[in-house]
Amino acid sequence: MLTSGGDAPGMNAAVRAVVRMGIKSGFHVIGIERGYAGLLENEMRDMHLRSVSDILQRGGTVLYSARCPEFKEEWNIARAKEICEGAGIEALVTIGGDGTFRGALELTRRGLPCIGVPGTIDNDIAASQYTVGFDTAINTVVQMVDRVRDTSQSHDRCSVIEVMGRHSGHIALYAGIACGALAILVPEIPFNLERDVITKMVATLRTGKQHFIVMLAEGVGSAVDIAEKIESLTGIETQPVVLGHVQRGGSPTALERVVASAMGHHAVELIAEGKSGRVVVQRDGRVTDLPIEEALSMSKTIDMDLYRIAGDISI
């Protein structure tokens, strides 16, 4: 198995489940370090029951991770298949996002059975209602913003919080509601600064509100630029806060550990059943699976009902 792309809290819980369930099912489990990049460099180690002791509560991934644009090249995919054959690898569990699944699909097409497990804090895998890492990420954002709110309130400031989400606004939306943000700006929905932020600030000032939180997904723009515009238009001191990679770290939440464990367990069950080319997903509250091709063909947008709720109660 390998973890690929951006790391996400809960990946270790999935790794642990794959190792424990794999050994219980009679498999010899090999950990590939640094994702597809490590696979191309033959960076592997045997995994046993105690290899995954005391990792459930740790963020990141004990197998390390990396992005590997080289894996889009045909000859590298063929080389990876040969390396797996040389190492006696008969099936592969890949934990990551869309890019990880595309690599798994190519290997499956070349005869190496692969099962994907969705691990990304952005929660942007369309096939799954939940992806490993999302719950911890939004809880981390909430904890950070609660601290920012204390100083924002003390000085009657506006704080523009920039969170991860280049193409996806799920973190911004959920954290924005949980933090009571005045406005939530996401890539999926075009916005007008004066209409969606300034007008709301002026209206709430009249009702006695003195400090403000604006939640911004990074794909919308720069918190620095937007903070400058807000301050120039309102005269209210406005501070940008870019949370950055702190959102990827930290001990995974209980929900994260449970879902990741169930997904890792299901991945091994699929391998034991002789299935391949599948992505493990959570749908309607249960863990199931779909063909990789179908999963990759699906698109996901933010929950518009939640977005409407956020707008209705941020007054």
Residues with active-site annotation: 122
Cβ atoms of 119 and 60 closer than 8 Å:
no
Cβ atoms of 139 and 74 closer than 8 Å:
no
Query: What is each CA distance from 271 to 2, 24, 25, 26, 267, in whole angstroms?
Result: 15, 13, 10, 11, 7
Report d(CA 181, CA 216) in Å as an integer.
10
Instruction: For 40-86, give the DSSP string.
Output: HTT-EEEE-GGGGTT-TT-SS-TT-----GGGGSHHHHHHHHHHHHH
Helix (H, G, I), strand (E, B) or coil at 92: strand
- Tallying the residues shown for the chain, one arrives at 315
Nearest CA to 170 out of 5, 7, 304 is that of 304
What are the backbone dihedrals phi and psi of residue 58, each rounded to the nearest 5 degrees, phi first?
-95, 140
Cβ atoms of 136 and 256 closer than 8 Å:
yes
Q: Label the pairing between strands 44-47 and 29-32.
A: antiparallel
Identify the helix (H) or strand (E) that includes residue 171. Answer: helix 170-179
